[in-house]
Chain A
Amino acid sequence: MVRTFIAAMALAWAAGLAAHEVHGDPPQAAARAAPAARSGLSIGAAVSPDGLLWLVGLNSDGRLFVQSSADFGLKWSEARLPDIGSDKVAADGENRPKIAFGPDNQLVISYTQPLAKPYSGEIRMLRSTDGGRSFSAPVTVHGDRQVITHRFESMGFDRNGVLHTVWIDKRDQVLAARNAGEGPGRSGAYAGAAIYRNESRDAGLSFGPDIKVADHSCECCRIALAPTAEGGMAALWRHVFAPNIRDHAFAILGEAAKGPLRASFDDWKLDACPHHGPGLAAALQGGYHAVWFGEKAGRAAVRYGRLSAAGRPQGEVQELPDARAEHADVVTSGRQVAIAWRSYDGAQTRLRAWVSADEGAHFELRELAASTGENDHPRLLATAAGIRVLWRTAKEIHVLPIPP
C-alpha cells in the first residue's frame, strides 16, 4: 500500500514536471516570477589627487554609491548616494560605472544607462567639484540621442586635463541597415559597431562633438585606455577585421588620420560576442603592455604582449600561466608590471597575479585571494603607495597590495 501511494505521488510529480516542460509554463502553484533585478557587483575605482582611494558601484539596493578610503580599504567612509533620478546603471561584467579625477580635483562618474529598446543605451555622467560632497545631475555625454547602442564607455583624463570618453556606438550600423532596407537589429550591411569618442575641456561640464574613431568594432567588450608618453590617451578594443576576425585594434585618440592599427593577430573567426575586452598600460620605456582574451589556432587563452608606441605588436606574445584565466587587467608602476585575473576551478574563483619587476622580461605567479561566491572582474590601480588590486565579491571588497 505504501508503495502504491509512493508510486501515485511520483506519477503526480512526474506529470507535473512533464506539463511544465511540454507547455513551457509551470503549473500555476509552482509558477515563480523571474527574480527582480540584481545589483551588479562591478565597480570602478580611482585615486584622488589627495591620495584617497575612491570606489563607485551599486549597493545591495541597486543604488549608485561612492565611497572613499584613506588607508586603501582598511576603513571606508560612509557611502554617499548621488541623486541620479530614475537612471538605471549597468554594473555587470564588462559594464561598470567609472570614476576619475580631473586636474583640479574634479570628480566625474560615468555609467551606461540601458534603455528599454534591446541593445540600446546612453552614456551618462555626473560630476562633483567639492570632493564628492555634492554631485550634479547626470547628463548624457554624446550628442547623438537616437535610442540605439551607446554603451561600454571608458573615460579618463589625459595629462593636459582633457577628459576623454570613448564608447561603442551603433549609429553607422543602424544607418547602413536602413539604407540596405534591413529591419532593425539586422546588421548584414555593417559588421559590428563603431567606436566613437568626445572630449571635455572643462572636466565634464560640457562636451565637444561626437567623433568617430573606427568603424567595425566588436559590440560588447570593454574598451581599454592608457596614457601616451606625449600626454594624450590611447585606446585598445576588440575589433572586427575583415572578413570576420575578432582581434584587437589600437588608436591614439585625436590622431584619426592614422586610423586604427591591428594590435593582435590571434585570427579568431567568430560570429559571437566574447564579452571579454582587453587591458592596456603604458610602458616605462615607451609603448604599452597589453592583455587580451582570444582563441588562436583553436586555443582559448588570455595573452600578454608588448605594443610599440604606435600600437604595433612587439616581441613574443605569451599566454598567462592559467588556462582558465579571464578578464585580466594590467597596470604599471615604474618598472613593475602587474597583471591580475580571476580563474574558476569548479569550486572557487581564485584571484591571481603575474608580477614583473623588470618591465615584463620575467614574471612571477602569485595567489592573492579566493571566493566561493559571485565576484567581479579584478581592477588594478597604480597608486603612490604601490600597485593595488581591487576585487569585489558578494561578501566584501578586497584591496590588496601587489609589491614588486
Chain B
Amino acid sequence: MSCQYLLERAARHLVLLLALLAPAMPAFAAPQTILPFGADTWNELGRSPLRPMAVVFSTSDCAHCPAVIDSLAAAIRKSGSRARLVVVVMDGAGQEEALRTNGHYRRANALYVFDGDAMALRFRVNPDWRGLTPYVALIAADGATRFHAGPPPAEAVRAFMRP
C-alpha cells in the first residue's frame, strides 16, 4: 500500500468529514484576496465539501454579469441557505485593484481570476459552453451540476440550494 494511496484515502475521508461539519462553519467573508483559477480549480470546487455552490463565470466587459451575481447573492441570503457564491473573472488578470473594489464581486464568498487558455477551461467545465458570460454552474449538495447561460431560472436556483 503506497504512501500516496494512504494519503489520498485519508484526504477523502477528511473531506467527507468536513462536508458533514460544513453547516456549522462560519459564512465566508467578502473576498479581499483574489485567487488564481488554475487548471485544476474547477475540479477542486466540484469536490469541495462546501456544497451547494453557485459558480459564476464572468468577464470584465459583461454587462449582464453584475445582475446575475447580485441576484444569486440575494437568493442565497434570503433563503438562509449555506450555499456559497463563487465568481470567476475570466479576463481579470491585471485588473485586481478594480475587481477588489467592485461592489458586485464583493457579494461573492470567493473571487477568482482566470489567466490561461480559456477555450480549454470552457471545455473542462462543460464542452457545451461556447464562451457566453455569465455562465453559471449550480452545484447542488449532492454534487449534481446544472449549467445556465445567463440568469438561471428561479426554480433552478431554489433547487440547487436544497440541502
Residues of A near any B CB (own CB < 8 A): 2-3, 6-7, 9-11, 13-15, 17-18, 21-26, 31-38, 92-93, 114, 116, 118-119, 151, 185, 187, 192-193, 219-220, 270-276, 293, 300, 324, 326, 342, 344, 346, 349, 373-375
Task: Tell me if B's interface is mostly helix, strand, loop or mixed.
Answer: loop
Q: Which residues of B are found within 8 Å of A220, using beta-carbon distances? A: 59, 61-63
Contact of A273 among B63, B102, B116 (CB under 8 A): B63
Q: Which residues of B are found within 8 Å of A185, using beta-carbon distances? A: 63, 66
CB of A345, distance to nearest CB on chain B (Å): 8
For A269, the closest partner residue in chain B by CB is B150
In the complex, chain B residues 127-155 whose Cβ is within 8 Å of any chain A Cβ: 127-128, 130-135, 149-151
Residues of B near any A CB (own CB < 8 A): 3, 6-7, 10-11, 14-15, 18, 25-26, 28-36, 48-50, 59-66, 91-96, 98, 102, 108-111, 113, 115-120, 122-123, 127-128, 130-135, 149-151
Contact between chains at A276 and B130 (CB < 8 Å): yes
Q: Which residues of B are found within 8 Å of A346, using beta-carbon distances? A: 123, 127
For A246, the closest partner residue in chain B by CB is B132
Contact between chains at B150 and A24 (CB < 8 Å): no
Contact of B11 among A14, A271, A375 (CB under 8 A): A14
Contact between chains at B64 and A3 (CB < 8 Å): no
A-B contact pairs, 29 of them (CB 8 A): A3-B6, A6-B10, A7-B6, A10-B7, A14-B14, A18-B49, A22-B25, A23-B26, A23-B28, A25-B29, A26-B33, A31-B33, A34-B34, A34-B93, A34-B115, A37-B95, A38-B93, A118-B102, A187-B63, A270-B150, A271-B151, A272-B150, A273-B64, A273-B133, A275-B131, A276-B131, A324-B127, A344-B120, A373-B117
Contact between chains at A271 and B130 (CB < 8 Å): no
Report how far A22 CA is from B131 CA in the complex, Å.
29
Contact between chains at B36 and A34 (CB < 8 Å): yes
Contact between chains at A118 and B25 (CB < 8 Å): no
Contact between chains at A272 and B133 (CB < 8 Å): yes
Contact between chains at B132 and A34 (CB < 8 Å): no
The verdict on A34 contacting B98 (CB below 8 Å), with A24-B28, A25-B33 known, is no
The verdict on A36 contacting B94 (CB below 8 Å), with A25-B33, A31-B33 known, is yes
Q: Which residues of B are found within 8 Å of A25, using beta-carbon distances? A: 29, 31-33
Contact of B36 among A35, A274, A293, A373 (CB under 8 A): A35
Contact between chains at A273 and B62 (CB < 8 Å): yes
Q: Which residues of B are found within 8 Å of A270, using beta-carbon distances? A: 132, 149-150
The verdict on A374 contacting B133 (CB below 8 Å), with A11-B14, A13-B11, A35-B36 known, is no
CB of B111, distance to nearest CB on chain A (Å): 7
Q: Which residues of A are found within 8 Å of B151, using beta-carbon distances? A: 271-272
Q: Which residues of A are found within 8 Å of B135, using beta-carbon distances? A: 272
